[in-house]
Structure 1
């Protein structure tokens, strides 16, 4: 938990990832992971505001990439865009306007014969997974998602390399980062389950609840409620994030919905929260940044 004043100062000063190390010296009581979470969510909010806007004159950047030796990383930096977002936009332009470039091998053809110009002949092209993908799916966004999951689908070595670089150098919006976030979320859910198990508190997980036919489920539904500082807890939602105004706005309806279905509960934002946002007790939700200490809870047998 941090104060609103500290959060405002920290958020204002966090313009680059390198600022985290400096701010840690200024706020030694705030964990490094909390500062990283604040920075990442601030950057993500900015990217979300621009990711659905098409880059004007995208063909100009495509030509610069092909003819002037500019890389995706250089071009996205010039635009102030996430490298993954820029790569998706440029890839969309290529798919819709110049699909042959996806098959151009800058060194040799697929057959290894090294045809002039590096072009793949039609018979080889039709045998590729990329060709099948392009002919079977008409939705460009779906094609891009599949390519980002497996850039090796692209036969053009230069283009493939730039897509890989865009993914691995993007610490906010790339598929790799999304996988890391998902893994981190699962890690904290397991941590929560481990704490409940050690306290011998029976519970059902989200997957168990869904198997029983529950439509919207928290991460944990307690089979026996507990009391935390006089507040009854029937369920627990685990959030591997920092609870700022934007995050709470996104998740508020979700956690209030759990209260409507299962009674009052606990939302744990493991990377912290702004102190004045823990104001949902009247709505049946208590916000915290850790599992309650044993001395603060009572099992309501």
Structure 2
């Protein structure tokens, strides 16, 4: 959109102030060098300011009229403005507090979903914002994890739950663990898991053994195995509400990761690039396996790519450094240069910072025009049927892929004498 000078802008405002109900066509005739969209935006802002000024003047006049009115009747509002009445407005019963809290939570969630993107000029996708929010919540939970999972804290929370069982006979509403998680500021699913572990320990102590982690996971994923149906329903509510932890979010995250890995493999098959997946690499005895290892390397942006790692999340500095230490360094040492795809976006500085390390950071798989094959005359070799997850090119296609010009390989990737 074209920009205009301040003097030109003041001239437009001056013309608008002379006559409030200007037609946009008339304004265009006065200023033919200014785009129609710009004039429309200036006119809308001018009308909004005029409306605010008129409303402010009306409020001042109404206040002056109210001051002039003197009534001899008893002011009921003044009689109710006592210390007791003010305290009654602040001190509510338990059901009112829950209703207000649920309404505020719904409003906060709606603000995040509807208005959070407006602060970023609508150019950040909702999936990217959701990934950033999930990572932020996970880090906040890690900070307070030890505080709430300490044995003394878990014992105190379990005492509260036992007290709730006594009050439940007095028509106490369900969802006690949810309310307690909100009060202490902890993840509902992790609190339910701690209470469940303490409950199993109290039962196993009678038999002289403690529950294993495998047994705890099995019961968490299938609450019907729990004898205490009240605790099962409380844990179910916590797992259902928590968006970051628990069996439901873990299953969703796993499935999203699998879907994007399938998208990566479909794209490789579409471009005719032979590859080996994790299952095929493990069958060959590799201990560290990326999502995809290219049977024949390619070049993207003058960088050699020997393997591809798919990440269905947003790549920020902290998460990328963790992946670099735990996974990517071992891939670089074993297979050479590679590419990491953060499907939900990433910090732009990561692309330039990791290029020297041999890592190509992207948010999408490169297009066919961006890929340089080893033989430019045959970009699509014949691919035979896959066998055990490995795509084998035919003999003709394999010879077509053999490099005739090795200029695309950078000098730093060549073996040193």
Query: TM-score w.r.t. structure 2 length?
Result: 0.57
- Which structure has the greater CA radius of gyration? 2
- Say whether residues 1:299 and 2:404 are aligned partners: no
Decide whether the 8 Å contact of 2:201 with 2:211 is kept in 1.
no
Higher deviation after alignment, 277-286 or 88-97: 88-97
Provide the residue aligned with 2:301 in structure 1: 229
Unaligned stretches of 5+ in structure 1?
A: 1-15, 101-133
Contact 2:204 2:211 in 1 (8 A): no
Q: Which one has more relative contact order, counting CA pairs under 8 Å at least 6 apart?
A: 1
Corresponding residue for residue 359 of structure 2:
285
What's the counterpart of residue 346 of structure 2?
273
- Deviation, 1:99, is 6.2
1:164 CA drift (Å): 0.9
Q: CA deviation at 1:135?
A: 6.2
Cα distance, 1:142 vs structure 2: 3.2
Contact 2:200/2:211 (8 A) holds in 1: no
Determine whether 1:81 maps to 2:174: no
- Of 58, 65, 77, the residue aligned with 2:164 is 65
Judged with a 3 Å threshold, the aligned counterparts in structure 2 of structure 1 residues 21 and 99 are, in CA distance, closer, same or farther, namely farther
The residue that corresponds to 2:77 in the other structure is: none
Q: Partner of 1:90 in structure 2? A: 195
Instruction: Please provide the CA RMSD for this pair.
Output: 2.1
Between the aligned partners of 2:207 and 2:293, the Cα distance in structure 1 is 46
Aligned-partner SS, 2:280: helix
Displacement of 1:24 after TM fit? 1.8
Q: State the Cα distance separating 1:209 from its structure 2 match.
A: 0.6
CA–CA separation in structure 2 for the residues paired with 1:73 and 1:58 = 12
Query: 1:58 Cα deviation (Å)?
Result: 2.1
Number of residue-to-residue matches in the alignment: 253
Assess if the C-alpha contact under 8 Å between 2:201 and 2:210 holds in 1: no
Alignment of 1:125-144 (within 5 A): 138-144=210-216
| Larger relative helix fraction | 2
Distance between the aligned counterparts of 1:275 and 1:87, measured in 2? 38
Query: Which runs of 5 or more residues in structure 2 are unaligned?
Result: 1-107, 375-400, 402-417
Match of 2:317 in 1: 245
Give 1:263's aligned residue.
336
Q: Which residue of 1 aligns with 2:130?
A: 36
Give the Cα–Cα distance (whole angstroms) in 1 for the partners of residues 179 and 163 of structure 2. 11
Spell out the pairing of 1:92-111 with structure 2 (5 A cutoff).
92-97=197-202
Q: Which residue of 1 aligns with 2:266?
A: 194
Distance 2:124 2:274 in 1: 33
Q: Secondary structure at the match of 1:283?
A: coil
Structure 1 length as normaliser, TM-score? Answer: 0.78
